[in-house]
Amino acid sequence: MSVVIKAENISKQYRLGMVGTGTIKDDLKRWYYNVRGKEDPFLKIGDANDRSSKGDSDYVWSLRDINFEINQGDSVGIIGRNGAGKSTLLKILSQVTQPTTGKIYTKGRIASLLEVGTGFHPEMTGRENIFLNGAILGMRKHEIIRKFDEIVDFSGVERYIDTPVKRYSSGMYVRLAFAVAAHLESEILIVDEVLAVGDAEFQKKCLGKMSDVSKGEGRTVLFVSHNIGAVNTLTNKCMYLRNGNLIEYDTTDKIIPIYLNDDLNNIRGLKEFDNTPNLNENKPIQLTKCRFSIANDIVEVEVEYVVRKSVGSVVALQIINAKEVSIITLIDTDRDSDIFKRSEGSYMVKFTLPLSILAPDIFKITLSFSDMKSERFDYHRDILVFEKNNTDANLTRDGIIFSDPKLIGETKKLYLGN
C-alpha cells in the first residue's frame, strides 16, 4: 500500500472580524518582522477554534498541527461538529486556500467536489456546461468527449441536453453536475456534502457511484458529511476533528462510536431550555422556553413562544436519533400555515409522543418556527436530549421504530411435515 497523501503539521490561521480595519497596520507589522528575518508575530497568538467561548484574540486556529497519511485505495471520512475544521482541511487539500504552516504531499491528480455545478452557466445548454464544468474540474477536452455519453447516461437528462440549464429543475441540475464530477479520472476524489440535494433515488445512485470509485476502481476518496450513516457505509477509515485538532484517525467502526459519544456528552441531559436571554425584538415569532418530561410512557414537550407580529407560522418539533436519522416531525397545526396566523401574545403548545414506539437510542429535539415554505422565523437545533434505555439487552432489532414484544408477528403452523 503506497501513501498517496501525507500531511505534516498542517495548521490554518484565520483572522476574525472585519477585514479592512487594522489590516494595513497588521500587514505592515508582519512585513517589518519579515524584513528583519523574524517569524510572523501573529502566528504565535490565536485561540483554538471554539465558537461557544468568546476568545481574546482576533486570530483563531481553524486547524492545528494535523498529521496523517492516507493510503491508496482508502476511503476516508472526515467527521466532526460544525466548525471543527473539516471544510478547511478539504479546502487546503483541494488547493483553494493554502495552509498557514505545514506541508501536504500528494500523488496523483486531485479532483474536488466542494460543491457540484461550480461554474455552470445558466444560459448555456447542458451539453456546453458538461464541457465547461469538466474543464474547470481539470479534464481535457478529449477526455470529456470520450466520457460524454456515460455522463449523460448517468445524469438521466438526455432529453434536455440541448436546453439551457436555467430551465432545469434543481434536481436535474444537480444530477448533471454530479455526473460530470463522478466521471473525472482522478486518483484522489474529495467530496463535501454533495448529497444534501437531489432525491432519494439519485442520492443512492451517487453513493453507489462513490463506493464503486473507492472499492472497485482503487481510487482514494475523502468524504466529509454530517450524515453518519453515509460515512459508515462509504468509508473504511475516519478522521475525527474537534476544534481544529485531529482527535483520532482510525478505522471507521472505531471512530464513529467515539464521535457519537463525544457529541452526545456535550448535550446529554438537557431537560429544559430557556431562550429568554436571547430574545430579539425583531423576530416576529420566537421561542421563549421549552420543557421536556416523560410520564407513563409518554414523552411530553411543552413549548412556550411569543408572537410579536402575526405571521403564518407553524411550530415544528423534530426528533433525531444519535445517528442523525430524523425519526419524526410533529407540527402544531395543519400544514397550511396561512390559516394559522396567531395574534400577538404568548402561547404554549404541548407535543406528545408514546415512548414505546421508539427503538432504544439517544434522541435530540430540534424546534423550528417557519411558514413551511421559504421563511424560517426561529430555529433551535438539538436543544433537548432524552434517552430511551434498553431495558432488555437481549431485545435488539434493527430499525428506528420499535414494537412491543406483545405486538410481534403471530406464527401459525401451516402444515405438518419435516
Partner 1 sequence: MNQNNENWDLVIKGKTNLFDLRLKEVWRYRDLLRMFIRRDFVTVYKQTILGPLWFFIQPIITTLTFTIIFGNLAKIPTDGAPKLIFYMSGITIWGYFSTCLVDVSKVFISNSAIFGKVYFPRLIMPLTIIISNLMKFGVQFIMFLCFFAYFYNQGTIHPNLWVFFLPFILLIMAVMSMGIGLILSSLTTKYRDLTMLIAFGIQLFMYATPIIYPLSTVPEKYKWIVQLNPLVPIFEYMRYAYLGVGNFQITSLVYSVVFSIVILALGVVIFNKVQKSFMDTV
Cβ atoms within 10 Å, residue 302: 15
Q: 3-state class of 157 per DSSP? A: coil
Query: How big is the chain, counted in residues?
Result: 418
| 348, three cell numbers | 404554549
**How far is 408 from 10, CA to CA, in rounded Å?**
54
In angstroms, give the least distance from the CB of 403 to partner 1. Answer: 46
* DSSP codes, 64-116: EEEEEEEETT-EEEEE-STTSSHHHHHHHHTTSS--SEEEEEE-S-EEEESST
**Closer to partner 1 at the Cβ: 131 or 340?**
131
**Closer to partner 1 at the Cβ: 100 or 368?**
100
User: 110-113 and 188-192 as β-strands: parallel, antiparallel, unpaired?
Assistant: parallel
Is 124 one of the binding residues for partner 1 (CB under 8 A)?
yes
Residues 355-414 that bind partner 1 (CB under 8 A): none
In angstroms, give the least distance from the CB of 86 to partner 1. Answer: 15
In angstroms, give the least distance from the CB of 105 to partner 1. Answer: 4
Adjacency order of strands within the sheet including 345-354: 272-274, 285-295, 298-307, 345-354
- What contacts 24+ positions apart, CB below 8 Å, involve 89-92? 89/10, 89/63, 89/241, 90/114, 90/190, 90/192, 90/222, 90/224, 92/10, 92/12, 92/63
**Closer to partner 1 at the Cβ: 206 or 316?**
206
Supply the DSSP symbol for 130: H
**Closer to partner 1 at the Cβ: 17 or 405?**
17
**How far lies 29's CA from each of 17, 21, 24, in Å?**
18, 14, 9
Cα–chain-centroid distance for residue 219? 23
**Closer to partner 1 at the Cβ: 96 or 348?**
96
Q: Contact with partner 1 (CB under 8 A): which of 1, 17, 18, 20?
A: 20
Cα–chain-centroid distance for residue 309? 33
Nearest to 41, CA basis, from 21, 26, 24 = 26
Q: 3-state class of 43 per DSSP? A: helix
In angstroms, give the least distance from the CB of 61 to partner 1. Answer: 13
In angstroms, give the least distance from the CB of 30 to partner 1. Answer: 12
In angstroms, give the least distance from the CB of 110 to partner 1. Answer: 7
Q: Contact with partner 1 (CB under 8 A): which of 33, 47, 58, 132?
A: 132
In angstroms, give the least distance from the CB of 51 to partner 1. Answer: 18
Site string for partner 1, 81-120 (x = CB under 8 A): ----------xxxxxxxxxxxxxxxxxxxx-x-xx--xx-
Interface stretch with partner 1, choices 122-130, 155-163, 267-275, 315-323 (CB under 8 A):
122-130
Q: Contact with partner 1 (CB under 8 A): which of 29, 51, 140, 268?
A: 140
Cα dihedral 17, 19, 22, 23 sign: positive
Is 127 one of the binding residues for partner 1 (CB under 8 A)?
no
What is the maximal distance between C-alpha atoms in the chain?
Answer: 95
**Closer to partner 1 at the Cβ: 97 or 403?**
97
Interface stretch with partner 1, choices 52-60, 127-135, 337-345, 403-411 (CB under 8 A):
127-135
Is 29 one of the binding residues for partner 1 (CB under 8 A)?
no
Interface stretch with partner 1, choices 11-19, 51-59, 262-270, 335-343 (CB under 8 A):
11-19
**Closer to partner 1 at the Cβ: 95 or 346?**
95
**How far lies 54's CA from each of 20, 37, 58, in Å?**
21, 33, 10
Size of the site for partner 1 (CB under 8 A): 47
Is 141 one of the binding residues for partner 1 (CB under 8 A)?
yes
Residues of this chain that bind partner 1 (CB under 8 A): 3, 6, 14-15, 19-20, 23-24, 27, 91-110, 112, 114-115, 118-119, 121, 123-124, 128, 131-132, 135-141
